Chains A and B, each alone.
Chain A
Amino acid sequence: MPTISNPPGTRRTSTTSVPPSTTTPGERPVPGEPGRRPRRAGARRWSALLWVAPAFGMYAVFVLYPLFQSVQYSFYDWDGVGTATPAGLDNWKALVTQAELLRSVEHAFVLIVFYTVLPVGLGLVAATLIRELRPGPFNTVARVVLFVPQVLPLVAAGIAWTWMYSSDGLVNQILRAFGLGAHTRDWLGDFTFALPAVGVIGVWVMLGFCTVLMLAGIGKIDPSLYEAARLDGAGRLREFLAVTLPGLRRELVVCTTFTMIAALASFDVIQISTQGGPGYQTMVPGVEIYRLTFLQQHVGQASALAVFLAVLVLVVIWPIQRLGREK
């Protein structure tokens, strides 16, 4: 980075001896800065960059640069081995014209219902219930048990639930026990039920995270607000709408953001449980990118989808973050 190698003090000299128009971008003078600043202050400011340099360097090499390359690849046709041929906007057009690619994006949005809407909703319910219980061992156990799925590798979640959904698995066992044997099926191999079944795994993983987050948020709400609501004769629902929900604004934003990213960029669970099948019924962008690059050698097409996914996540997350900030 050129800015770091600048010897301390050059910036000051350049602002005084050279007309501003000729200064290089790295040495932009600070407007209105008096020329007689002590040398050390300038030196310390530049040396502050050294603190940031290792972190930013690793990030630049292993995140920013690959991201830039993804954009680049997306305009080429490349099998990963031979020479790449320019493909113009073909890979990008395919995102809207090829049904398979479109459907993978569609499924990602369906998964938001399971990864975000249900866990946030159920998490609110669970947190409200735990709050109303007397503090005690059951309270702690409930929190720990609900949180466990979040700590496990998603691969383990995929394996556990693949077994749950298999023909001899627990889901079918329960159905048989209740005399609903006619409704048993291989859930992950079923064209109608595979996507919701995969979605339920998402609920399982995310529920604890949302519950614990909400619970902490509720703990921070001023108890006198609940007192006041009760004195005003508010019922449970009103109390929830008027006190709990507004008090949880920031927790809701964090939960929604985190789980939505997990939904849109899901990979592990689906790769383990269905690999996108049956047919394309559970295909999501993450798995499709993996298949396009590593199984079908369509590097350009994979990259276009990858960049699209990155932008999509950003576009979906942005308004939620804004919502969290305004007060």
Chain B
Amino acid sequence: MRTSTAQRVTRTGILLALMLFAIVPLLSMFTTALAEPGSPPQGLSWPAHPHWRNFLDAWNSANLLALFRSSALIVLGVVPATVAMATAAGYALAQLKVPGGKAIYTVLIVGLTLPVEALITPLYYDLRSMGLLGTRPAIVLPLIGLLMPFGVFWMRAHFLGAETALTEAAKIDGAGTWQIFRRVHLPLATPALSALSVLFFLATWNQYLLPLVLVDDPAKRTVAGGLGAFQGQYGTDIVLLCAGSLLIILPSLVIFLVFQRNFVKALLQGAVK
């Protein structure tokens, strides 16, 4: 394409401005996190003496080790179970003749639009009567239910696109439903499964309302829930708050950067199906 230099400069300029907008709040947090503890820092200015120790202080005062451990436990409780159930349901709804399958799918899909806030009040009283309030299962169990519509939607879309010829061939070979699923379709679903796992990881890791309401002890919450509590406690110590927040968002960032290419690709395929 032929474009003048002026045009190209304008385009790059607009893009750079948008990129700056995306990155500047994080940069501001970073320079603030390095400022002298207890000082009133400025929005964006490199401190004369960067205090890297602030990160260590934040790590200790936010009890981040306990928080990461707790989040990991919650993720382990939510992600494998939800992915497994969603895969089974998605497979059945796409490939097997489920009685009332269409109705079941419609009811599930309505859940895609349902905000957590619409359920949080009864969930609180239900989990209280189950005696689970303040425990990690109080976050895990509802989250499995809440993520399910997206999981089923995602996996069904994948299995709808699966080759039916393979199923037919396996059937002729005398394979049962389970065998066909296990040996033919499951191995082919790996990309869809891993993308869904990453999405569910982020959704769990970043979940805020459920831990805020259902678990008082920040050390038993998700990262986002713990971060909220940290802000409540250290909101006035902006240096420590910025250092702690950066440490807390680091794992999400790393996961995203590692899976970046596959992640975005898979996300788009699933979203537009």
B84, closest chain A residue (CB): A54
Is the C-beta of A190 less than 8 angstroms from some C-beta in chain B?
A: no
Interface digits, B29-73 against A, CB 8 Å rule (1 contact, 0 not)? 100100000001111100000000000000000000000000000
Which residues does B use to contact A, with CB under 8 Å? 1, 3, 11-12, 14-15, 18-19, 21-26, 28-29, 32, 40-44, 85-86, 88-89, 91-93, 96-99, 101, 104, 107-108, 110-111, 113-126, 141-142, 144-146, 148-149, 151-152, 177, 202, 205-206, 208-209, 212-213, 223-224, 227-228, 231, 238, 241-242, 245, 248-249, 252-253, 255-257, 260, 264-265, 267-268, 271-272
19 examples of A-B residue contacts, CB within 8 angstroms: A48-B96, A62-B145, A63-B146, A63-B149, A67-B119, A132-B3, A133-B11, A148-B23, A153-B227, A156-B249, A160-B29, A163-B242, A168-B40, A170-B24, A265-B115, A265-B116, A286-B117, A294-B213, A317-B113
**A48-B98, A317-B113 given as contacts; is B209 within 8 A of A268 (CB)?**
yes
- CB of A156 within 8 A of CB of B245, answer yes
- CB of B99 within 8 A of CB of A45, answer yes
Which residues does A use to contact B, with CB under 8 Å? 3, 44-49, 51-52, 54-56, 58-67, 69-70, 73, 80, 122, 125-126, 129-130, 132-133, 138, 141-149, 151-157, 159-161, 163-164, 166, 168-174, 204, 207-208, 211-213, 216-217, 250-251, 254, 258, 261, 264-265, 267-268, 271-272, 285-286, 289-290, 293-294, 299, 302-303, 306-307, 309-310, 313-314, 317
B202, closest chain A residue (CB): A151
- CB of A173 within 8 A of CB of B44, answer yes
B205, closest chain A residue (CB): A153
Minimum C-beta distance from B109 to chain A (A): 10
- CB of B85 within 8 A of CB of A54, answer yes
- Which B residues lie within 8 Å of A51 (CB)? 88-89, 91-92, 96, 98
Minimum C-beta distance from B157 to chain A (A): 12
B206, closest chain A residue (CB): A153
CA distance A8 to B255 in the complex (A): 47
- Which A residues lie within 8 Å of B205 (CB)? 153
CA distance A142 to B256 in the complex (A): 15
Minimum C-beta distance from B67 to chain A (A): 12
- Which A residues lie within 8 Å of B177 (CB)? 44, 47-48
- CB of B248 within 8 A of CB of A156, answer yes
CA distance A172 to B125 in the complex (A): 44
Minimum C-beta distance from B36 to chain A (A): 14
- CB of A306 within 8 A of CB of B15, answer no
A212, closest chain B residue (CB): B264
Minimum C-beta distance from B209 to chain A (A): 6
- CB of A217 within 8 A of CB of B272, answer yes
CA distance A171 to B264 in the complex (A): 31
- Which A residues lie within 8 Å of B89 (CB)? 51-52, 54-56
B125, closest chain A residue (CB): A80
From B12, B245, B255, A160 is in contact (CB under 8 Å) with B245
- CB of B208 within 8 A of CB of A154, answer yes
